[in-house]
Chains A and B, each alone.
Chain A
């Protein structure tokens, strides 16, 4: 099956810093989505981005499907950005959303 790997696995930032999270996948995908799991365990949709670039406030994402990766950019990080960031993909020809390994982010005040 498809392998979905995220890097870095852990990240500690000072408030106000910028960061880039990466999601690599081993096969062609139809769908790709980024989620933030907050410290209370809720999964929050950030971006649905099978290709191209999107921005939402301090967050933006880019997916280059032909090269099998996606990037999530967080600018001017805040303590509320802390949590785990997951990417999830649907392999071409299937219906299953498979999750990556996650990046655990901690933003210090």
Chain B
């Protein structure tokens, strides 16, 4: 029972470097989400997707790009990392409206930008 899997779990980057976080879910969920959580804070929505090939902006999308080429995968990219992007990133998924609204989370990816 994998559920929602995020890779990598930890990463250290230098300012200006790029990287991609991968989220994979095996529950055949239609909707997927990327959040960030800064120390002592709540979760803020970066981007989300309501189906394969679709993406949309959340509350804090600047500096990030996403892609949903396959239904089971949702990628979060940082093109030029900045220290302000040091955070823990969480991916989540849920079934489409009418099929259950419960959100399931991955275990998080801790990113440090020096």
A residues engaging B (CB < 8 A)? 1, 30-31, 33, 35, 41-43, 45, 48, 50, 86, 88, 90, 95-102
Contacts and interface: CB of A to CB of B under 8 A. Distances in A.
Query: Is chain B's binding surface mostly helix, strand, loop or mixed?
Result: strand
Contacts of A48: 100-102
A83 to B, nearest CB: 13
Contacts of B50: 95
Interface of B: 31, 33, 35, 42-45, 48, 50, 56, 58-59, 88, 90, 92, 94, 97, 100-105, 107-108
Contacts of B59: 1, 98
Nearest to A100: B42
B48 A96 contact: yes
B54 to A, nearest CB: 10
Contacts of B44: 99
Contact of A45 (B35, B56, B104): B104
Contacts of A88: 43, 103
Contact of A41 (B33, B94, B104, B108): B108
A86 B43 contact: yes
Given A86-B43, A95-B50, A42 B107 contact: yes
A30 B97 contact: yes
A60 B97 CA distance: 25
Contacts of A42: 107-108
B26 to A, nearest CB: 17
Nearest to A31: B101
Contact of A101 (B42, B45, B103): B42
Nearest to A84: B42
B88 to A, nearest CB: 7
